[in-house]
C-alpha cells in the first residue's frame, strides 16, 4: 500500500479514532464518522488550516438507517474504499461491577455498539470495497480468552464476540480480496482509557498506522502493535 488510500474511520471525532484521522489524512483520503456535526466541522476546519482536506459523515453505529445514509455519502466521495477502521466503541460505567451484578441492559447496549455495530458498518461498507481492501476492527486485550480476568463483563463479551466476527469475515471475504484483522491498540490515554493509561494516542496510532499500511498484511489474526497475539 504505497499510494493514496481511501480510508473510512468510525468514531473519528475523539480518542484513538481522531488520532488515526490526524495521522492518516496528510497522505491519504480520509472520511471519518461522527455523531456530532459541530465537533466534526471543527476537526475539518482545523485540518483545512493545515491545508489538509478531511471529510466526515454523520453515523451512529447503533442505527442501520444512519449507516446506510452515511455509506451512500461515502460512495459519492470515494470510487472505492480501501481501508475501514471499525473504531467506534463504548465502555459503560458498570465495568466496575462483578459479572453477577452487571445488568442485562449494560451487556446488550455494549454488544449493540461494539459488536453488532461493526457488523452493520461492514454490511454497508464492504460493497464499496470494489478493489479488495482491508478491515481493521479495534478490539481489546480485554476480549482475549487467554488473558480473561474478572470485571468489565459487558465490554469483555462484546470484544470477544467482535473477535469472532473478525474471524468469520476473514474467511467469508477472502474471495473479495478483503483482509480482516482485529487489533488491540494497547492501553491508551483517551476518555475511555483514562489518564493513567500507558500509551499516548499518538504512540498507539503510530503503531496502528504502520500496521494498517504495511505491505504484508495478514488475514484473520489478532494483533497488538503489529505482532500477532493469541485469541
Ligand atoms: P473514546 O475516546 O471513548 O472514543 C470512542 C469513540 O467511539 C467516539 O468517537 C464515540 O463517539 C464513538 N462512538 C461510541 N458509540 C458510538 C456509536 N453508537 N456510533 C458512532 N460512534 C460511536 O474511546 P477510545 O479509547 O478512543 O476507543 C476507541 C476504540 O478502541 C474502542 O473500540 C475501544 O473499545 C478500543 N480500545 C481502547 C482502549 C483504550 O485504552 N483507550 C484499549 C483497548 C481498546 P461520541 O463522541 O459521539 O461518543
Would you give the distance in Å from CA 99 to the centre of its chain? 26
User: Whose alpha carbon is nearest atom 31 of ligand 1?
Assistant: 89
Q: Which residues are catalytic?
A: 155, 159
Instruction: Indicate which atom in ligand 1 lies nearest the CA of residue 191.
Output: 2
Q: How far apart are CA 151 and CA 219, in angstroms?
A: 30
Q: How far is the CA of 230 from the centre of ligand 1 (A)?
A: 23
Q: How far is the CA of 48 from the centre of ligand 1 (A)?
A: 24
Q: How far is the CA of 136 from the centre of ligand 1 (A)?
A: 14
**What string of pLDDT tens digits covers the 231 residues of the chain?**
448 999 999 999 999 999 999 999 999 999 999 999 999 999 999 999 999 999 999 999 999 999 999 999 999 999 999 999 999 999 999 988 999 999 999 999 999 999 999 999 999 999 999 999 999 999 999 999 998 999 999 999 999 999 999 999 999 999 999 999 999 999 999 999 999 999 999 999 999 999 999 999 999 999 999 999 999
The three three-digit cell numbers of residue 66, written as one number: 444512519
Q: Which pLDDT score, from 0 to 100, does residue 147 have?
A: 84
For residue 9, the SS3 value is strand
Residue 60 in contact with residue 66, Cβ under 8 Å? yes
How would you list the strands of the sheet with 178-184, edge to edge?
55-58, 29-34, 6-9, 83-86, 133-138, 178-184, 222-224, 227-228
Ligand 1 site residues, Cβ closer than 6 angstroms = 11, 13-17, 35-36, 59-62, 87-90, 113, 138, 140, 184-185, 187-188, 190-193, 197
Q: What angle do CA 45, 51, 53 make, to 5 degrees?
A: 65
Q: Which pLDDT score, from 0 to 100, does residue 65 have?
A: 98
Amino acid at each position: 500500500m504505497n499510494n493514496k488510500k481511501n480510508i473510512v474511520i468510525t468514531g473519528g471525532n475523539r480518542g484513538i479514532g481522531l488520532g488515526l484521522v490526524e495521522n492518516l489524512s496528510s497522505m491519504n483520503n480520509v472520511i471519518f464518522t461522527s455523531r456530532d456535526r459541530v465537533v466534526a466541522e471543527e476537526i475539518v476546519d482545523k485540518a483545512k488550516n493545515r491545508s489538509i482536506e478531511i471529510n466526515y459523515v454523520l453515523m451512529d453505529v447503533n442505527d442501520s438507517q444512519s449507516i446506510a445514509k452515511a455509506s451512500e455519502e461515502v460512495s459519492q466521495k470515494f470510487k472505492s474504499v480501501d481501508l475501514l477502521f471499525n473504531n467506534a466503541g463504548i465502555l459503560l460505567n458498570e465495568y466496575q461491577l462483578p459479572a453477577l451484578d452487571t445488568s442485562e441492559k449494560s451487556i446488550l447496549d455494549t454488544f449493540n455498539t461494539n459488536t453488532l455495530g461493526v457488523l452493520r458498518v461492514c454490511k454497508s461498507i464492504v460493497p464499496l470495497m470494489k478493489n479488495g481492501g482491508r478491515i481493521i476492527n479495534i478490539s481489546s486485550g480485554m476480549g482475549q480468552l487467554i488473558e480473561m480476568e474478572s470485571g468489565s463483563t459487558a465490554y469483555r463479551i462484546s470484544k470477544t464476540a467482535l473477535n469472532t466476527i473478525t474471524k468469520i469475515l476473514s474467511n467469508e471475504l477472502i474471495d473479495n480480496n478483503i483482509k480482516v484483522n482485529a487489533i488491540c491498540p494497547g492501553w491508551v490515554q483517551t476518555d475511555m482509557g483514562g489518564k493513567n493509561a500507558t500509551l499516548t494516542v499518538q504512540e498507539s496510532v503510530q503503531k496502528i498506522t504502520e500496521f494498517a499500511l504495511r505491505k504484508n498484511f495478514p488475514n484473520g489474526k489478532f494483533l497488538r502493535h503489529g505482532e500477532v497475539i493469541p485469541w
